[in-house]
Homo-oligomer: A and B are copies of this chain.
């Protein structure tokens, strides 16, 4: 789960990271008032869960309240990379002397939390990694001790900092690590950490991504979720405990397990079709989940056929079959459907489908091929093929 910049700044500030003042505004009037309150030149920044805001026109400099109002008017209500902008952050325009990149990430290779920093801040870190990898400094937290001050100092020296900046950087890094661990983050990024006119280091932009699996320990953070920044059907899916990612194709997929779901999408593509979505109904899929999944898939108007592929382990095919039969009575829209059940209680599942006059395919290849045929309009699909269509 992503936080907005203003939420991330507040979290950092609570942990003592120096963050310049700033106010969130949901209207041009509020932005104007905020600029007046802050005084001087301000920067107006779209609050949106997307990178590259600057290039997309989501960040504007304003000389005073009137200009801030104008900037907010231009930004609010637009969409950046498809995401709606409902709020802007108004902050003083900083006199930037130097820009540093610093982040903590969950590091799979090192199996711990790692710091990543670069003296080339203010730009996309992935670009820096590609063009000048030697400028990137890393340090790994030992799980017994957590990140230690000596590590932060060493990074500071490697970044070429000196004097009071070493202590300041170390202090900020220790606090960012605390933000990471105390909130079960998977990314805490400050870019840039800037030396401003006063000589002080300040976090001018902040990004925090939380580990969804850790949210049960942080209810107050879970409440910060801004579902306006997510696809509504993905939000509905998440509420039903379903992993759903909307894509651009025509074949809706319902699969149990992320790996099998991806493999199923790959098979659809291999047979010439385009998957409309990734959907993993999760471990112990119940009838309710199947119904919910089907409705989510069908809420996508592009979907012309549905492929269900269930290989039961924890999920039991009989339960899934019941779910399918039940769901068909409640779905909002009817499209052709192909089903394949395998694994735990598969035979019983197939029997249940059969009793409801639904037949099932026997392999992944077969079910994928059938789904593609349904969409490419091969209406002459031979009757003996185990295709079950729920079309009227």
Contact = CB atoms under 8 A, between A and B. Distances in A.
Interface of A: 143-144
A141 to B, nearest CB: 13
A249 B143 CA distance: 52
Contacts of A143: 144
2 contacts: A143-B144, A144-B144
Contacts of A144: 143-144
A296 to B, nearest CB: 37
A143 B146 CA distance: 12
A139 to B, nearest CB: 19
Nearest to A144: B144
Nearest to A142: B144
Total copies of the chain: 2
List of 2 A-B pairs having minimum Cβ-Cβ separation, nearest first: A144-B144, A143-B144
A149 to B, nearest CB: 14
A146 B144 CA distance: 10
A144 B143 CA distance: 7
Nearest to A143: B144
A111 to B, nearest CB: 13
A178 to B, nearest CB: 15
A341 to B, nearest CB: 39
A241 to B, nearest CB: 26
A216 B334 CA distance: 70
A144 B144 CA distance: 5
A182 to B, nearest CB: 13
A143 to B, nearest CB: 6
A80 to B, nearest CB: 43
A143 B144 CA distance: 7
A155 B198 CA distance: 57
A43 to B, nearest CB: 39
A143 B142 CA distance: 13
A239 to B, nearest CB: 30
A20 B143 CA distance: 38
A143 B145 CA distance: 9
A23 to B, nearest CB: 34
A262 B143 CA distance: 41
